[in-house]
Amino acid sequence: MVDQLNIVSFVFLFLLLFKFQFTLEQIEPLSSPTERAALLELRSSLGLRSKEWPRKADPCLNWNGVRCQNGRVVAINISGFRRTRLGKKNPQFAVEALANFTLLESFNASNFLLPDPIPDWFGQQLSSLRVLDLRSCSINGSIPPSLGNLTSLTSLYLSDNKLTGILPISLGQLLAISVLELSHNSLSGSLPASIFSLRNLSSLDISANFLSGSIPPAIGALSELQYLNLSNNDLTSFIPAELGDLSGLVDLDLSENSFSGAVPSNLKGFRNMQRLNLGNNILDGPLPEDLFTNSSQFLFIMLRQNNFTGALPVELWSLPRLSFLDVSSNNFTGQLPNSSFIANSTVAELNISHNKFYGGLTPLLRRFGFIDLSSNYFEGRVLDFMLNASVDSNCLQNVTDQRTPVECASFYAERGLTFDNFGRPNSTGAPAAKGSGKSNKKKIILAAVLGGLGLIALLLLLVLLLLCIRKKGNSNQRGNGVGPAPAGGSSPQPGELINFSSVGDSFTYHQLLQATGDFNDTNLIKHGHTGDLFNGVLESGIPVVIKRIDIRSTKKDAYLLELEFFNKVSHPRFVPLLGHCLENENEKFLVYKHMLNRDLSNCLYYRKTTSEDGSLQSLDWITRLKIAIGAAEALSYLHHECNPPFVHRDIQASSILLDDKYEVRLGSLSEACPQDVDTHQSKITRLLRLPQSSEHGTHGASTSICAYDVYCFGKVLLELVTGKLGISASSDAELKQWLEQMLPCISIYDKELVTKIVDPSLIVDEDLLEEVWAVAIVSRSCLNPKPSRRPPMRYVLKALENPFKVVREENSSSARLRATSSRGSWNAALFGSWRQSSSDVTVMPAASGTRVEGGSTLKRSGTTGSQGSFLNAGGDVSSSLTRHSREIFPEPSGVQDVERQEQE
């Protein structure tokens, strides 16, 4: 017994001594003079601070991020380090000293600025490298094919950079690699089949790029793959059935692509799958049987925004671990499962909106933490506990915003079901009496005849008025224009006066073919309404965007009009036109500078880092305001500094291009034209009092006035404030719905109201909230239905540059800046106040928390940074409390305010 105890003690002592010796080996000083010199060179070339790497201390013992073994450097980690002030002035990918570390296994420079391409020698001289982490380093250029020589590499992280070009085939040589992360770059081309020969690959993330083509069937060979993210690309074709062979797959994200066809039945092999995201594709057909089994491990299922049909598999409700299910915006039909299935469901968040589900609701829906049932055909009385849930556009009885009984009855009749019309007599299906039908028929005929006669009379009156106005205006028509009239009585044809040498270089067709890879579809950005846009790289290495214009299918002179615009107009806020190619008879080409951050619609939300829930980051408020000011500068130049004034006519988030510093470069200039100076239409419009909807500038020649640009810019501002993508590109009907929801939350009297519509992803303090509030007010002014009451762009620009003046009182009695207009109606200062005196416009109605009654006063809202105005019985504004009127938004005198109109 004693001998056994001695043996155990001896073994324990031996292990302790061995561990102690191993520890001493780990922390011994740097023994290689070459590596010490290389570290000092690296310290100098990268501009590292002495706080992290003190010059006189031993690197192995005292330098942060340097790990040594047996006196040699094996790992360098400078992640998140800050450069010295000198190093910040000229940051470069200056790491040539790394070639001296022959035993280096890991290099981590994530979140450290390296704004240059990856050196080609990386793959030739760092043969021992096992981990290379260059995430969020602002690296540009392409991935060097030489990286395929790093056969010892197990992890490669290159996400969140500015990499371009195609994925090199040589990556298939990294046979030891386990993690390959290339997301959030600008990589293009197709997925090389060589990547799917990496049998040790467990995590592959190439999301948020511009990849195209299909997924190769060879993907089924990645037997060790657990995480696959190909989302937010331009991938097409079908989802390969070979994905079902990846039994170890835990997370699959194929969302935000263009996959079509049905979901292959072979995917039922997913036994370990926890997170499945197929949203935002064009998949169709019913979901396969047995896709979801009781043995599945699903936690998260996203199938939204596809064209799936049929019933929702009942097995979904019995998955033992499922907590999130979103199948919204499809064509699923059928009824909810019976109460026993829902009672056993573990789902906490459920979204089945915008489908064709029908039938009654079950009280067991109470168990869900979040539920959206809107835009279906559920019938009956909504459950009391669901009144705060989303149940709009159904066939429910005791809530508003539901479908009409006719719609509901028709839907149920198509399926051979009975709709009880909420228990009331069903008037939609009962035939009318014969006598009543004849009477109604006569009335309809009579109304049609009278309406036709009235329409003919109205058209005749309109023609007569137009003739009278033309005769009256012939003598002074020249004075209505802006700028000198052309000599000779006829306008020059487009292109006759263009100096092509002043609108960029002249490229050959062969040069553009090389730049775009023969205009390969992989480089196609989009099909524009005046031409197709392609990514390209010139021989000099400069990335460009090339517009190919087929003059056989578009307006023949469209490209000349755009060249003429660039010939006349020059401003740093417009996307630079680098040149043109006009040598082909049927195709013309315009070459623009490539904008690294694409456009506002693409970068308002972006994926910063890969996260398990796929959440998006959003632009901060400072950047959003910077973008708004930049776009306003461009429009102000067009409207007020060009002679004649130019109208952009296509202002929306997709036309606001952004460079690498988020500076605005306004694009989509093919529709720009001089302002329509013919006032005949506006005279007739005012005379006949046409509806306000036509004044938005969305029809006909009304888009050729500057006020139309102001209106569209107001939509962009609203999109920046609310974060609701698509407002600026929405149709009239969609915009009306947006405005009905949002405009009531924008009031000069109550700052807190705007918090109901502010983008929830924004983090704003009290001062920034005032800026957001001010920009919302500016947006509302721009969205005035009447063009004559929208502020000119120069006033909008001044308001955005000084947003606090929009919402704060001015105590100074300095002279006001007066503004004039050709209409003579802008009699206000820099911006006329929304709280106008009775001499300007009538007082706006009270916002929440205010009161206006006869001779009583309008109380203050109590909001920080904004004070109310006191009104006496006569409607005058108290000079002691109001700001200088007309310093925020100028408006013509004698016109009712928008808010008052809405209230009436």
Catalytic machinery residues: 650
Using a 10 angstrom Cβ sphere, with 0-12 exposed, 13-18 middle and 19 or more buried, the burial of residue 262 is middle
Packing angle, helices 706-722 and 621-640, rounded to 10: 180
Q: Write down the number of H helices and E strands in the chain.
A: 20, 40
Given a contact cutoff of 8 angstroms between Cβ atoms, the answer to whether 573 and 793 are in contact is no
877/838 Cα distance (integer angstroms):
8
Which residue has 């409207």 as its token pair?
Answer: 639
Given a contact cutoff of 8 angstroms between Cβ atoms, the answer to whether 183 and 205 are in contact is yes
Given a contact cutoff of 8 angstroms between Cβ atoms, the answer to whether 395 and 403 are in contact is yes
Q: What is the DSSP string of 644-689?
A: SPEE----SGGGEEE-TT--EEE--GGG-EE-----HHHHHHHHHT
Half-sphere exposure of 138 (CA within 13 A, CB side): 13
Given a contact cutoff of 8 angstroms between Cβ atoms, the answer to whether 791 and 713 are in contact is no
Closest CA to 155 of 203, 123, 189: 203
**Left if phi > 0, otherwise alpha if psi is -120 to 50, otherwise beta: which for 844?**
beta
Question: What are the backbone dihedrals phi and psi of residue 353, each rounded to the nearest 5 degrees, phi first?
Answer: -70, 160
305/360 Cα distance (integer angstroms):
24
301/309 Cα distance (integer angstroms):
17
Using a 10 angstrom Cβ sphere, with 0-12 exposed, 13-18 middle and 19 or more buried, the burial of residue 526 is exposed
790/793 Cα distance (integer angstroms):
9
Tokens in use for 30? 């740097």
Spell out the residues 6+ positions from residue 889 whose beta carbon is closer than 8 angstroms to its own: 777, 781, 791, 795, 799, 828, 831, 832, 833, 834
244/288 Cα distance (integer angstroms):
13
Closest CA to 654 of 782, 790, 567, 529: 529
Q: Is residue 422 helix, strand or coil?
A: helix
Q: What is the DSSP string of 738-799?
A: HHHHHGGG-BTTBSGGGGGTS-TT----HHHHHHHHHHHHHHHHHT-SSGGGSPPHHHHHHH
Length of the chain: 904
888/775 Cα distance (integer angstroms):
12
